[in-house]
Amino acid sequence: MNIKLTIEYDGTNYCGWQIQPNGQTIQQVLEQALEKILGVKIRLNGSGRTDSGVHALGQVANFVYGGDIDLWRLPRGLNALTPPDVVIKQAELAPESFDARRDARSRVYRYRIWNQPFSSPFHRRYSWHLHDPLELAPMQEAIRSLEGEHNFASFQAAGCDALHPVRKIYHNSLSRENDFLVYTIEATAFLRHMV
């Protein structure tokens, strides 16, 4: 059985999605919980590798399991074994050919900028604080040039292991929502630290 999971998490306390030697990751937490429930080591395949501190509202992952499993009870069991900042929202049967990473049509990121003179203890984990006023109109005009297919090599971090730097930006927007500027970007994929 190929099982698809939809996951929500606060990434503040994690070194991103992918297992790595320098700290705890979302993949590691979930694989440990799956092993406790299923009794075998499971390798989760994530739709993307988020960076340290990145949060997710709907990260998709899948794994293959040869035994019987109650998909209605699986999220409850996993949520009982994971920290409260990692939640499985849904588990469902996927086609055998489904691969969370390769079958993802696009990825969407939202960045919130708290644009006020003073920081906020309530928004510090979920936004970037910039105290100087930002001018929305010129920023909106500038981001239009990012849409389409481009070579984003100059936007990638050192050590990025992508096979090529060409990415297609389907949509990106910047809007003011109360005291925030919210930047939303949708693309085929992103390079490491690209956005």
51 is catalytic: yes
Report the candidate in 192, 181, 184 with the shortest Cα–Cα distance to residue 153. Answer: 192
- Considering the candidates 10, 51, 85, 103, report the single residue annotated as catalytic: 51
Burial (CB count within 10 angstroms: exposed 0-12, middle 13-18, buried 19+), residue 161: exposed
Q: Which helix (H) or strand (E) holds 176?
A: strand 166-177
Place of tokens 């003179």: 117
Strand order in the sheet with 86-94: 45-46, 56-64, 2-9, 86-94
Round to whole Å and give the CA distance between 15 and 129.
21
- Residues annotated as part of the active site: 51
